[in-house]
């Protein structure tokens, strides 16, 4: 398999600076959407729709190619999605188990989504942010790349499962290729793969390998740009436009809208929760469903 060889070759090429930025939380630690709705509209847009906020800095009409509103839920949709991500006695959000091989993966039949990306790109931090309304769930993050060594399965009520993957590239686990490729190729209930790209450095060589693999397996996947709190607006805009162009011209299976996020400021997290709820068939948005 061509991608298998590529992965192996790229195994240990990258070291990534792992410093946590100096971002501040925009509001209280619960990140509840009810609080977000009380923010002034400019701040709300920045937090909930970071791509639209960035677009304000472009000359109107200069970049019609920037796909902003393909997934365009209402604030009510986002609030409904939030209830799915809120743990309660009736909605159990839990870690299920870990696996190093597909045949050890839990036999769950809910729709599933997974998160892949280079080691240290922020996969576990993103999942932790998505689960901020289920604080009992223990998602381990580390500034040391290569921290997550197994596929970690989490259950979100009766709605869907979510999988935190080990990273590829620097300090990837030895059995990464067999583990992750088999999972991506064979997992029957996998609905969508979220491929995380560091917004500070953009698409790297190992990301290209991951993209090739998603394309080769004809997986529907979505590009999430992480750590957007770390860049200046100008740098972020440049990266977003470059990556958007790449998605438009070089990919078939990638969802055309990018999802910029920050696990520090929570920017983009509410929208991503809503998107996940939607693609797993748990939210009928007004007009369009992306399953």
Ligand X SMILES: Nc1nc2c(ncn2[C@@H]2O[C@H](COP(=O)(O)OP(=O)(O)OP(=O)(O)O)[C@@H](O)[C@H]2O)c(=O)[nH]1
**b/e map 200-232, b = 16+ CB within 10 Å:** bbbbbebbebbbbbbbeeebbbbbbbbbbbbbe
Extended beta strands in the chain, E state: 93-99, 112-117, 151-156, 160-164, 190-198, 221-226, 259-260
* Token pair recorded at residue 117: 């990306």
Residue 82 or 198: the one with the smaller Cβ distance to ligand X is: 198
Q: How far apart are CA 183 and CA 101, in angstroms?
A: 8
| Residue in this structure with the two tokens 């990266």, named with its chain if needed | 239
204 is a site residue for Mg ion (CB under 5 A): no
List the one residue from 263, 271, 272, 279 that touches ligand X (CB under 6 A).
Answer: 263
Q: Give how far the C-alpha of residue 123 lies from the chain's centroid of Cα atoms, to the nearest Å.
A: 7
SS3 114: strand
Kindly state the smallest distance separating residue 196's Cβ from ligand X, in Å: 7
Least spacing, CB of residue 88 vs ligand X, in Å: 26
67 binds ligand X (CB under 6 A): no
The single residue among 3, 31, 120, 124 that binds Mg ion, judged by CB under 5 A, is 124
How many residues touch ligand X under the rule CB under 6 A: the total is: 28
Question: Which residue's Cβ has the minimum distance to ligand X?
Answer: 167
80 binds, among Mg ion, ligand X, none (CB under 5 to 8 A by kind): none
169 binds ligand X (CB under 6 A): no
The CA distance from 4 to 168, in Å, is 12
Q: CA-CA distance, 145 to 160, in Å (whole number)?
A: 28
Q: Which of residues 228-257 bind ligand X (CB under 6 A)?
A: 229-230
Identified binder of ligand X from the candidate list 3, 31, 86, 125, rule CB under 6 A: 125
> C-beta of 33: minimal distance to Mg ion in Å?
26
How far apart are CB 146 and Mg ion at their closest, in Å? 9
- The reply to whether 148 sits near Mg ion by the rule CB under 5 A is yes
Burial label, 277 (beta-carbon count in 10 A; 0-12, 13-18, 19+): buried
Question: What residue ranges bind ligand X (CB under 6 A)?
Answer: 18, 20-21, 23, 117, 119-125, 141-143, 145-148, 166-167, 226-227, 229-230, 262-264
Question: What residue ranges bind Mg ion (CB under 5 A)?
Answer: 123-124, 148
């Amino acid at each position: 398999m061509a991608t298998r060889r590529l992965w192996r070759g790229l195994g240990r090429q990258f070291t990534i600076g792992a410093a946590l930025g100096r971002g501040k939380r925009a509001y209280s630690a619960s990140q509840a959407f009810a609080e977000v709705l009380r923010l002034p509209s400019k701040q709300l847009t920045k937090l909930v729709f970071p791509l639209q906020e960035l677009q304000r800095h472009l000359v109107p009409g200069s970049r019609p190619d920037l796909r902003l509103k393909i997934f365009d839920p209402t604030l009510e949709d986002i609030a409904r999605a939030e209830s799915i991500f809120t743990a309660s006695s009736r909605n159990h959000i839990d870690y299920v188990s870990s696996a190093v091989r597909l045949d050890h993966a839990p036999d769950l039949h809910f729709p599933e989504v997974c998160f892949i990306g280079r080691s240290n790109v922020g996969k576990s931090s993103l999942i932790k942010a998505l689960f901020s309304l289920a604080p009992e769930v223990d998602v381990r993050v580390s500034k040391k790349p290569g921290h997550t060594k197994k596929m970690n399965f989490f259950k979100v009520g009766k709605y869907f499962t979510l999988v935190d993957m080990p990273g590829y590239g620097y300090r990837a686990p030895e059995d990464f290729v067999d583990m992750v490729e088999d999972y991506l190729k064979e997992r029957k209930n996998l609905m969508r793969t979220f491929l995380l790209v560091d917004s500070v450095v953009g698409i790297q060589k190992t990301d290209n390998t991951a993209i090739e693999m998603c394309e080769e397996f004809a997986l529907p996947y979505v590009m999430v740009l992480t750590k957007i709190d770390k860049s200046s607006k100008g740098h972020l805009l440049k990266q977003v436009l470059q990556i958007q162009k790449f998605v438009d011209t070089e990919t078939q299976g990638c969802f055309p809208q990018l999802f910029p996020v920050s696990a520090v400021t929570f920017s983009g997290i509410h929208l991503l929760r809503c998107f996940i709820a939607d693609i797993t068939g748990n939210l009928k948005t007004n007009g369009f469903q992306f399953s």
